[in-house]
Structure 1
Amino acid sequence: MIDVREIKTIEQLEQVQQLEYNVWGMPPIPIHQTLTAVKNGGVVVGAYDGDQLVGFSYGFSGFREGKSYLCSHMLGIDENYRSQGIGEKLKYAQQAIAIERGYDLMVWTFDPLETRNGFLNLSKLNGICYTYIENCYGEMQDGLNKGLPSDRFEVSWHITSNYVGKKVSIDATNVIPVASYVLNEQGFPRLELTENLKYNEDFYTLPVPKDFQVLKAQDPALALDWRFKTRHILQRLFAQGYAAVQLQQRENYNEYVLAKLETLGLGGAN
């Protein structure tokens, strides 16, 4: 049984460092930084199998444009414990602590082409994305990110809102695709953009690969083409007031659903 609890001590943060290295293969965040964050409004939670740390979520206090929030910067799970709902448990534990401490918003980033993260963040947690950051972390050298600009969605999780608290569902039955998902001569998926969009529909969809890492390993140039084309269309949609609100899983591909931000009802929970 997986037990999720808050992390506060140096010894626990040392376990986080080791798991962080195991997941990304990069030097971990120094403990003097994570410990300082914990003591100054940050929230770190860990998932334990007995005494073994198998997952964590690390967040620190943020402030922007007169608004304070919790920046949930990293979520890592041991490769032997993935696809078991642990990421969702960690986020909800972090949410509960954040609300107790007066936050009503959590933000974090993820690669929009990593659709496993998209499904968790949007379809399960009811986060939304309306900010696209080009090459957010520069040229990264870890296995997941090497070779591509580190573009990111910024998730806004309005943790005390009706939209999140009541798990409001989006009825996106009548949607307009902004691109087509087609196979090239090698049998790899390619994106063809739709021309002359009016940006006046309630919903749009954007297809994305099911497993972007496999695609990148097979055809790095095609992966780069996906990066630039999805960057282009998502930035245009966000500029027109749309937000990514769901990640739907299809048989051969996944797709983002985008809706007008003003229609989502992000007021406080009842």
Structure 2
Amino acid sequence: MITLKELTNIEELEQLEIIEQNVWGMESLPVHQTLTAVKNGGIIVGAFDSNRIIGFSYGFAGFKDDQVYLCSHMLGIETEYRSKKIGEQLKKKQLEIAQQKGYTEIHWTYDPLETRNGYLNLSKLNGISSVYMENAYGEMKDGLNKGLPSDRFEVHWHITSDHVKNPPVYDNLIFLNSVSNHSQVPVCSQLDDTSLTEAVYAVEVPKDFQRIKNEDKNAALDWRMKTRELFNKLFESGYAAIQLIPGKYTAHYIFVKKDTLKLGGNQK
């Protein structure tokens, strides 16, 4: 049985090191930094199988444009425990603690071509994104990110909003791109719709981007650059990504006008 708990002392925080190394293959965060974060508004949640830590989420206090929010920086789960909804459990526990501390928003980033993350962040948790960050972290050398610009969606999770509690449902999607296969590697073609006047749009992405990176790096870079252009165009036109719907070989994002969403707190 998986249990969750907030981590607040040195002994508990030291347990994060092995997961960081296993998941990202990088040096772990210093305990003096994570300890300082949790003593000053940060939240670290551990997931345990019996007494063994198998996953965690880490967030620290953020401030921008006169707003305080929780910046959720890391979420890692040991390989054998993935696809068991533990990431979702960690985020929901993070939300619970964040509300207790008085936060109304949680922000984090993810690669929009990693559909497992997109499905969790937007479709399961009902976060939204209207910010595209080009090469957000510069050149990254870990196994998941090596070799491509580190583009990211910035997710805003309005944790007290009606959108999170009762997300809208959309149909009649207008796709801004199409996907074809070339030597079993999906290829992106952009469609001509420069006006962006419709209520709802969709952008199709490959379901398994890591496979494309491993098999054809040029195709992976092509996906990065073409979707970068589409996502930036949508965000600049006032749209927000609100869902990711997975299919057999591809997935698609749904975009709607951000000003149509109910993002304020404590709405009835």
User: Shorter-normalised TM-score: what interval?
Assistant: over 0.9
Residue 69 (structure 1) aligns with: 69
The CA deviation string for residues 169-228 of structure 1, in whole angstroms up to 9 with x for no partner, is 322x111100001112x1210000012331111111101111100110000010000000
Quote the Cα distance in structure 2 between the aligned partners of 1:45 and 1:68: 20
Q: Size of the alignment, in residue pairs?
A: 267
Residue 180 (structure 2) aligns with: 182
Q: What is the letter of the counterpart of residue 255 of structure 2?
A: L
What are the within-5 Å matches in structure 2 for residues 146-165 of structure 1? 146-164=146-164
Asked if the contact 2:148/2:221 (under 8 Å) is kept, the reply is yes
What are the within-5 Å matches in structure 2 for residues 50-199 of structure 1? 50-164=50-164, 166-171=165-170, 173-184=171-182, 186-199=183-196
Which residue of 195, 201, 206 corresponds with 2:203?
206
Report how far residue 66 of structure 1 moved: 0.5
The secondary structure found in structure 2 opposite 1:58 is: strand
Quote the Cα distance in structure 1 between the aligned partners of 2:184 and 2:211: 13
Q: Which runs of 5+ in 1 are unaligned?
A: none
Asked if the contact 1:247/1:255 (under 8 Å) is kept, the reply is yes
The CA deviation string for residues 109-129 of structure 1, in whole angstroms up to 9 with x for no partner, is 000000000000000000000
Report how far residue 69 of structure 1 moved: 0.2
The secondary structure found in structure 1 opposite 2:156 is: strand
Report how far residue 14 of structure 1 moved: 1.0
TM-score, normalised to structure 1's length? 0.97
Quote the Cα distance in structure 2 between the aligned partners of 1:4 and 1:147: 35
Asked if the contact 2:176/2:193 (under 8 Å) is kept, the reply is no
Quote the Cα distance in structure 1 between the aligned partners of 2:148 and 2:166: 34
Asked if the contact 1:72/1:107 (under 8 Å) is kept, the reply is yes
Residue 219 (structure 2) aligns with: 222
Instruction: Go from structure 1 to structure 2 and tell me whether the alpha carbon gap of 1:20 and 1:167 turns closer, same or farther (over 3 Å shift).
Output: farther
The CA deviation string for residues 37-89 of structure 1, in whole angstroms up to 9 with x for no partner, is 00000000011001111110000000001000000000000101000000011
Stretches (4+) displaced over 3 A: none
The secondary structure found in structure 2 opposite 1:196 is: coil
Asked if the contact 1:178/1:194 (under 8 Å) is kept, the reply is yes
Asked if the contact 2:132/2:232 (under 8 Å) is kept, the reply is yes
The secondary structure found in structure 2 opposite 1:160 is: coil
Asked if the contact 1:70/1:103 (under 8 Å) is kept, the reply is yes
Q: What is the letter of the counterpart of residue 260 of structure 1?
A: K
The CA deviation string for residues 78-101 of structure 1, in whole angstroms up to 9 with x for no partner, is 101000000011001011111111
Q: What is the letter of the counterpart of residue 85 of structure 2?
A: G
Asked if the contact 1:62/1:68 (under 8 Å) is kept, the reply is yes
Asked if the contact 1:178/1:197 (under 8 Å) is kept, the reply is no
Quote the Cα distance in structure 1 between the aligned partners of 2:39 and 2:248: 46
Report how far residue 231 of structure 1 moved: 0.4
Q: What is the letter of the counterpart of residue 199 of structure 2?
A: D
Report how far residue 264 of structure 1 moved: 1.0
Q: What is the letter of the counterpart of residue 258 of structure 2?
A: L
Q: What is the letter of the counterpart of residue 238 of structure 1?
A: F
Q: Which runs of 5+ in 2 are unaligned?
A: none
The secondary structure found in structure 1 opposite 2:32 is: helix
CA-atom RMSD in angstroms: 0.8
The secondary structure found in structure 2 opposite 1:107 is: strand
Quote the Cα distance in structure 2 between the aligned partners of 1:233 and 1:28: 35
Q: What is the letter of the counterpart of residue 126 of structure 1?
A: N
Residue 229 (structure 2) aligns with: 232
Report how far residue 168 of structure 1 moved: 1.5
Identity of aligned residues (%): 54
Report how far residue 258 of structure 1 moved: 0.6
TM-score, normalised to structure 2's length? 0.98
Report how far residue 28 of structure 1 moved: 1.1
